[in-house]
């Protein structure tokens, strides 16, 4: 419940031996005794799994690695120069993880 005066939440307090809902502004609920109980339920959370393996989300292209000669590599584009020039394509070898640039 909320306080009709200030809109804050009413908290349970003991007043004259009775439990009533009261606000910090001084308002108390005049309905008499409070018959509700407050209870918190804690649910067991699942443990977080740590993944040691690196997962690539970039697309794969048929490009030969200059370091190991493997024929497939992940690629992505980055705008490294002015906006009127084409973006630079970066490749990462699927096998040896070598990264190189492709300016074409």
Residue-range definition of the domain harbouring residue 93: 60-102
Look up 49 and say whether it is catalytic: no
SS (HEC) of the chain: CECCCCCCECEEEEECCEEEEECCCCCECCCCCCCCCCCCCCCCCCCCCCCCCCCCCCCEECCCCCCCCCCCEEEEEECCCCCCCCCEEEEEECCCCCEEEECC
pLDDT digits (tens, 9 = 90+) for 53-104: 777 889 999 999 999 999 999 999 999 888 898 899 999 999 999 999 987 6
Residue 40 lies in a domain: no
CATH number at residue 76: 2.20.25.10
Q: What share of the chain in percent tops pLDDT 90?
A: 34
Please indicate whether residue 102 is annotated as part of the active site. Answer: no
Please check whether residue 70 lies inside any domain of the structure.
Answer: yes
Catalytic annotation, pick one of 56, 64, 85, 102: 85
Q: What is the pLDDT of residue 100?
A: 95
Q: Kindly indicate the confidence band of residue 10, based on its pLDDT and cuts at 50, 70 and 90.
A: confident
- In a domain, residue 86? The reply is yes
């Amino acid at each position: 419940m909320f306080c009709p005066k200030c809109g804050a939440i009413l908290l349970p307090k003991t007043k004259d031996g009775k439990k009533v809902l009261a606000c910090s502004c001084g308002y108390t609920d005049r309905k008499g005794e409070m018959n509700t109980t407050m209870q918190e339920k804690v649910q067991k959370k699942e443990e977080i799994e740590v993944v040691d393996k690196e997962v690539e989300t970039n697309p794969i292209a048929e490009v030969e690695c200059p370091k190991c000669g493997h024929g497939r590599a992940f690629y992505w584009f980055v705008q490294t120069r002015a906006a009127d020039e084409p973006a630079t394509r970066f490749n990462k070898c699927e096998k040896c993880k070598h990264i190189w640039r492709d300016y074409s």
